[in-house]
Structure 1
């Protein structure tokens, strides 16, 4: 297959995968109350339905990206799509909450393999003069997935059951794998002669898991101990990466470029502050407001819809004005939206909640 003929296949495979991962996250949030009912989960266990996927993806993202650079991106993209699809299918038949959460971990691993290779495949496949347009299409798929997730997830949950969400995602994963199978193998991986830091990968994984699980166990002594272990592992990981000729994560990018370091720190804070909103509102709307999953999906779709609508405007404003000013305005709007959510109660009107979600969506668009 010639380079010219393979380009649409690369774009199609990566665009499907870019849609699938955010769609999975936003659609499952709407189904959480039904999942909790079927597995008799408490609030802490239910939080791991979402967190296990994201934690696994976060732990595996950097190592998988590095391995893909060494051994080839296509095989990791294809393997990730198949792992994601298979684990999604198996979620349908999970008999216990432990099995279900374990399968969510495998979904996260598959998602990390996909996410760490998709954009790199696009950049290497397309010439520089059209990359902006192609990456724009790919990013648009992310926003479409975020926007469609609550609505489609709510509809499927209410009328066909929450398991159909996983069937839908499995089919998307298989579609991405099918198209990826027809992508020619790279002539030479980007970092074929370089070594993989296995010890660094273990330190990175232990640090993230210990911190995440430790915070979930606070204020217990075990939770505090895990947080300390996680911090120690992170220190050893950073020291190791500074000494390695082929590091898993280039720490010098953060040390030598203050803008890069602080922008990533700001993004981390923003995601930490806003991620739990849809999780909590999904439970609130269905348990307190007694809304159906479809109605809940319609409410929750407002935030990603605002992101999709206002992101192009934010991009144009960033071209005309100082980007840090635009980002600061976005963060300020996010803070106002989060502060307003503090006051919701059983009698709070839906219009008030919608206003908060509009502020969060626009704020996130301007920040990003």
Structure 2
């Protein structure tokens, strides 16, 4: 049992759950507070966008690096350092005096988040035996979606009644509690890759490549600049994989991708699922406010249906994945999301009843919740313990790349159908057409994810995995 080596498993699960809640909470809660922050600092729209983008960018660039670093120097060390950096910057952001300092601190806050997120699932997988791993990963996943869904609600309330600074200041004690629990209650895991060297050149190549892809996605409407930047990022990733295949201690063991079909297909299925679902909230928010005439608050309440179903479904799916084949459960989840997306693409128009829209969001959210926990469990169970950090980092990397694909798809669809036109009653029919095309594209991503999920086959845990 891993419990003996890592101390009390509760002392692992508690800080991991807090960390998984804080990172997405800081993304969505700050997003709601941005207008108030912008008025105080007289910031431009571009600067406000960078406050969010730099946080997400640093997460994407460093996730795989810190996952690998945890395997070498110890996952608890990297996790604890990440909590300390994140908490310190969260507190500091409550006192920042300029938009420029806010952007800089948000970038490094994202690095802190990447440090603890990269190894979170590795810590859980290492602490619990395979027969209990799914339900624990389900709890962790539920905390992630709770942070995503509660961020806009709590962030909006706190900003309205106090100030945007309170969004950061109220989060710092949560970070302190996680840091204290980790420092005093969590023991270091076995460092089975301690003899290997860290591939910093590969980390740099990977970070720059992913950064270019994210930057290009943000400027996809600027032709040829945006597509050119994305192409450069993809070429960089190809160079990165070539470079890693020649190293003895690579950042990413390429043989894991080529030699472990189950692992590779599971990771690609995760990217397809995120690509299919991440842009839903943005599209539906526009639909509810422009086509239905809802206020932002009412639209937000309707959109809560999806993440709430994810919070409910994730722990249930985790328990089921301990009893049934996780890959098959993940496929069922993605098929459920696919059903919701297809229904939305076919039925959405200006007169669509709210109950139909809510049912579609329920299907999408439930499917996502059913998919993500078994799929993550399957990924962690398909590699040796010494590679848990890399596997955990890959899950985060696939999530980020899937999100980038989703947002890029939305931008492309609107660019092709609407150009620079503003959404008004006159352009509403064109907007609805582009909305349906976007939902159909998401359904295609989901369908590809289903095919990838089915094609991975079945994986049985070896004794080495179970130790």
TM-score normalised by the shorter chain: which range applies? 0.7 to 0.9
2:92 maps to which residue?
Answer: 90
The correspondence for 1:141, drawn from 136, 140, 143, is 143
| Contact residue 156 and residue 162 of structure 1 kept, 8 A | yes
Mapping of residues 69-88 of structure 1, within 5 Å: 69-88=71-90
User: Any conservation in 2 of the 1:286–1:292 contact (CA below 8 Å)?
Assistant: yes
Residue in 2 aligned with 1:319?
A: 324
The reply to whether residue 361 of structure 1 matches residue 365 of structure 2 is yes
| Change in CA separation of 1:281 and 1:332 when aligned onto 2, cut-off 3 Å | closer
Structure 2 match to 1:271: 274
Given that 1:56 and 1:109 are in contact with CA atoms closer than 8 Å, whether structure 2 keeps it comes out as yes
Whole-angstrom CA distance in 1 between matches of 2:306 and 2:289 = 18
CA contact (8 A) 1:154 1:296 kept: no
CA apart distance, 1:206: 0.8
Measure the CA separation in 1 of the matches of 2:186 and 2:84: 18
What's the TM-score, normalizing by structure 1?
A: 0.82
Q: Deviations over 1:106-134 (max 9, x none)?
A: 12111111112233233334456654454
Identify which of 223, 226, 231 aligns with 2:226: 223
Q: TM-score, normalised by structure 2?
A: 0.67
Greater shift, 258-267 or 40-49, is seen at 40-49
1:329 aligned partner: 335
Please show how residues 123-142 of structure 1 align to structure 2 within 5 Å.
123-126=125-128, 130-142=132-144
Instruction: Verify the 8 A CA contact 1:23 1:146 in the aligned structure 2.
Output: yes
Choose the corresponding residue for 1:303, options 302, 306, 314.
Answer: 306
Q: Which moved more, 1:210-219 or 1:74-83?
A: 210-219
Q: Tell me if the contact between 1:337 and 1:357 (Cα under 8 Å) persists in the aligned partners.
A: no
Distance 1:311 1:181, change over 3 A: closer
For residues 1-368 of structure 1, what are the structure 2 equivalents within 5 Å?
Answer: 6-39=8-41, 45-126=47-128, 130-183=132-185, 185-186=187-188, 188-218=190-220, 219-279=222-282, 291=295, 295=298, 297-311=300-314, 316=320, 319=324, 322-323=328-329, 325-336=331-342, 339=345, 343=349, 354-368=358-372
CA distance in 1, matches of 2:172, 2:281: 23
The superposition leaves residues 301-330 of structure 1 with CA deviations (integer Å, 9 ceiling, x where unpaired) of 221111123345656499389446514413
Distance 2:347 2:172 in 1: 34
- Please, which runs of 5 or more residues in structure 1 have no aligned partner? none
Q: Which range moves more in the overlay, 310-319 or 264-273?
A: 310-319
CA RMSD across the alignment: 3.5
Question: In terms of mean alpha carbon deviation, does 328-337 or 33-42 score higher?
Answer: 33-42
Equivalenced residue count is 364
Unaligned runs of 5+ in 2: 373-467
